[in-house]
Chain A
């Protein structure tokens, strides 16, 4: 209702304007303030800008913009103002502000360019804000608001408040209100209004709110602050003799006391050294020979001798400095004068930081989930070959790498990323399935029940495959580009977001889990695999060909590794060492989860993923340390559950 009333008023106003305009043009306004504009001094220009901005004339915005961009010119002959564009041969075409029509082409000599200095340009900019905020184009209104949020000034506040009521777009109106509150916090003169604005941000987690609130709580160290100062805390009350309170360094406090004459110069090791060198006479200082000055005691003795002669300031012991610090009226004083404001900011910030911490926890959980699904993807093939069949395949990582390189090669041939990924997945499966079957036929079947030999033989294959990949594709990383619809991230708010690739990997991991369960529980192959694993002789007696089943099962595990390779390649760089980076973690995942159980692998991947992200949270800069501690944790974990989280029992356990 109010909005409608207001637009009615606005219509009335706009109807009224032409009547006025017939009497008064922008040129008249400019002429009225001609002297100020010509003088172009920051001190006197304000009335001119105000007059233009508040004239209510449609050309006012043009004038201010042209003026700000140094495109406003004055004709020497009659002193009228125009805007101009350069024409041929050093001439300029002049345009009339009010009508926008061409006035004519003039020599440069007939004109004066108005060159407002940066201070004046800023004032014009502030005056322009009201026009930008009421611009008919919503995109420009939004841009103006974001610019104000980034770089607000006190002068923006009034036009912003005026522009809220007239806003019709609800989204931009909300943005305007938020911006108004942010500006109020920083620039309003009335403390009550600021406190109200501050409290309105309680529980919000936007970066802008934090950016506006944090400066309010900035402090500086003061010696004997005045009575009315807004004191954050008295330093000496928390000074324990050695450690300064948070936010204050000892040297800072000492420097302040020295500035106020409470403490004199404190000679440190270096200045003692320099003083001794400076007062050295005939290789002797303070009665001590140069070669004897190789110990701190001798140096102090020589220095004290210089002190006795009155040549240098006396030494002050650390203890005395500490005592002086503890009994001096030092205080951390808020730069913000109003206690109500800082109190409100403190309360609001702590509520914000609680909300941020909660959201960071959510974000971390999402990260952990996505890392877990990557580990799960890398390990699920192993869950078949190692977990079900009991074959240690150290070349598993290289199968992952082969899958990733297959994806890369397909992308070289098929330029469309969506099609190429869809092609790459079955192709990668086919390639690594073939490689797995070949390896099983040639090597592994001779070494069943010889796990250590299998480990070493497959390791031989692993280094050979790695080197072959290096010879073919070179050592530099190859890109495996994801399709456009996987770019970007799903953003919940300023803190919680997850990239679509990670979501895709998560979904893929779920699909693989489903496929694995389906094959193992519902198909003939799965049944035969389980039979052969549990008791090969009995299975063979029942008419199952163990050779064939082993071959196919190993091929399946390897093929899944290849598909995982495509997914991992989308997220990491494809190099010949890609697989090597995952092999130990994959084995860990399977072992921690419990060999022979896919749910165990899932739990293991979850445990390792969340744990690693959790450790990283304590020390975000150091992922190496996180991995180290995680491995140590796993080693200790295996002490307590040697068979993993889900241990097979009875006959299935195989021992």
Chain B
């Protein structure tokens, strides 16, 4: 298998993921010793989803050189799509229960009105907006998880790549798209409950008798499986000829174009595919988080995504996974108030307040001094060396890797 030959890290990653999944399962409250609380299982499951979207980001940025600041928007859209079904189905069950004692059995329109009032009461409406047309159908919404972000990425990417918007301009443009989307969703009449967002997503309809202990571990398994699949897909893509072309685009777009490749087509494919992967990640993430609102897809979230990939080490798939897992878990630890305060005598550093400062500065330091990120440590272990090119970039393009950060 070419894929395994080109990615020696692949079996290691699979083994680590399997061992980790089994370990969490046997330590969980549902299937094992109960050493890991249900909320921590959820945190771990969410972390796996973030690792998944980080792989998508690494594909589009680390391998293709497009610094997209919009992939967390696709992630959020995926969450919204699945959230619509979860909320509809859950509300329907509640409404049917409450209407069971009505003098007449309810008609279809009465049920729909009651659900509408329940869901949209907070934004002063009771009508179902058009975007909820398929909300009653699980399979339709699952299809929309893929279709809506995929189409958005396709149209946006087509417009952007067609007019040869590259580099920072593309980054700013994607950021503008993210901002537009989140501002749109913040409106009450966007049809998705404005800044209230969708809530109660952790309650799966139809599994009332089962506690969150079990549901959380199921989602954990699903996230681990999705991560594994994504990793395999990413490894497959980057190891073949396709991978060589997109790396070529990253390092020297003009040269690849002159060689006769359709640069725009390759970019569009990667952009759309990663958007779909991100959306699937979101569809798995938000049922575990329980709530989604427009603040989740603000531009800053997409920038954090880039931060994770950069800290983990871009241009290598396991780097993205490590970066996302490491930064988001450490972030949870610091902001959750578990980190001990540091008393300097004249001032006590409370990490809840100072964590973002630390993150920001460490991010600057990583960019300046350790462009390989955490992933670079593995090069030290394997001790692989490469010819010294005196620090010049691998290609003239704005997204190309520096010599210091290239995997040898």
**Which residues on A are within 8 Å of B, measured CB to CB?**
273, 276-277, 280, 290-296, 299, 392, 443, 446-447, 449-453, 455-457, 459-468, 470-471, 580, 584, 587-588, 591, 622, 624-625, 627-628, 631-632, 634-636, 638-640, 642
Contact = CB atoms under 8 A, between A and B. Distances in A.
Contacts, number: 157
Nearest to A640: B163
Contacts of B393: 449-450
Contacts of A634: 176
Q: Is the interface of A mostly helix, strand, loop or mixed?
A: helix
B173 A450 contact: no
B360 A635 contact: no
B172 A587 contact: yes
A534 B268 CA distance: 33
B310 interface: yes
Nearest to A289: B105
6 contacts: A294-B104, A460-B359, A465-B360, A467-B353, A467-B355, A591-B172
A244 to B, nearest CB: 20
A638 B165 contact: yes
A471 B159 contact: no
Q: Which of B107, B172, B179, B189 has the most CB of A within 10 A?
A: B172
Contacts of B160: 639
Contacts of B169: 591, 638, 642
Interface in B174-219: 175-177, 179-181, 183-184, 186-187, 189
B171 interface: yes
Q: Which of A294, A465, A634 has the most CB of B within 10 A?
A: A294
B339 interface: no
Given A456-B310, A628-B183, A293 B168 contact: no
Contact of A638 (B173, B306, B356): B173
B149 to A, nearest CB: 17
Interface in B273-326: 299-300, 303, 306-307, 310
B281 to A, nearest CB: 21
Per CB-CB distance, the 10 closest pairs between chain A and chain B, nearest first, are: A464-B360, A460-B363, A294-B105, A631-B180, A467-B356, A463-B360, A460-B364, A457-B367, A460-B360, A277-B103
B109 interface: yes
Contacts of B354: 467, 471
A652 to B, nearest CB: 17
A457 B356 contact: no
Contact of B307 (A294, A460, A467): A460
B187 A464 contact: no
A416 B131 CA distance: 55
B168 A455 contact: yes
B303 to A, nearest CB: 6
B115 to A, nearest CB: 16
Given A452-B398, A464-B361, A628 B180 contact: yes
B104 A277 contact: yes
- Which interface class (under 10, 10 to 19, 20 to 34, 35 or more) fits B? 35 or more
A466 B354 CA distance: 11
Contacts of A296: 107, 109
A299 B104 contact: yes
Contacts of A467: 353-357, 360
B402 interface: yes
Nearest to B187: A624
Contacts of A443: 364, 368
A460 B177 contact: no
A635 B163 contact: no
B399 interface: yes
B240 interface: no
Interface string B356-384: 11011111100110010000000000000
B356 A464 contact: yes
B1 interface: no
B265 interface: no
B399 A452 contact: yes
B307 A290 contact: no
Given A584-B172, A631-B177, 16 more contacts: A290-B105, A292-B105, A443-B364, A457-B368, A459-B360, A460-B363, A460-B364, A465-B360, A467-B353, A467-B355, A584-B175, A584-B179, A591-B172, A624-B186, A627-B183, A642-B163
Contacts of B108: 295
Nearest to B362: A460
Nearest to B111: A294
B6 interface: no
Nearest to B363: A460
Contact of A299 (B107, B165, B179, B362): B107
A173 to B, nearest CB: 51
Contact of B367 (A295, A392, A460, A622): A460
B363 A635 contact: no
A356 to B, nearest CB: 27
A463 B356 contact: yes
Contacts of B165: 638, 642
A126 B75 CA distance: 70
A470 B353 CA distance: 8
Contact of A459 (B106, B303, B368, B398): B303
Q: Which of A460, A465, A468, A636 has the most CB of B within 10 A?
A: A460
A639 B159 contact: yes
Contacts of B359: 460, 463-464
Nearest to A386: B168
Interface string B319-336: 000000000000000000
A27 B162 CA distance: 96
Nearest to B353: A471
B242 to A, nearest CB: 22
B93 to A, nearest CB: 17
Contacts of A461: 360-361, 364
B145 to A, nearest CB: 23
B153 interface: no
Given A446-B368, A451-B398, A468-B357, A635 B177 contact: yes
Contact of B176 (A456, A470, A584): A584
B107 A631 contact: no
B255 interface: no
A273 B106 CA distance: 10
Contacts of A632: 180
A27 B367 CA distance: 97
Nearest to A274: B103
B32 interface: no
A627 B181 CA distance: 10
A634 B175 CA distance: 12
A639 B310 contact: no
A465 B169 CA distance: 24
Contacts of A292: 105
A642 B367 CA distance: 29
B48 to A, nearest CB: 24
A468 B347 CA distance: 14
B104 A273 contact: yes
Nearest to B159: A639
A589 to B, nearest CB: 11
B361 A453 contact: no
Q: Which of B103, B167, B177 has the most CB of A within 10 A?
A: B103
Given A443-B368, A460-B363, A471-B354, A624 B179 contact: no
B263 to A, nearest CB: 16
Contacts of A622: 187, 189
Interface string B109-136: 1000000000000000000000000000
Given A468-B357, A625-B184, A628-B183, A456 B363 contact: yes
Nearest to B405: A453
Contacts of B360: 459-465, 467
A104 B16 CA distance: 107
A501 B284 CA distance: 50
Q: Which of A296, A443, A453 has the most CB of B within 10 A?
A: A453
A450 B314 CA distance: 15
Contact of A456 (B105, B162, B183, B367): B367
A288 to B, nearest CB: 10
B67 interface: yes
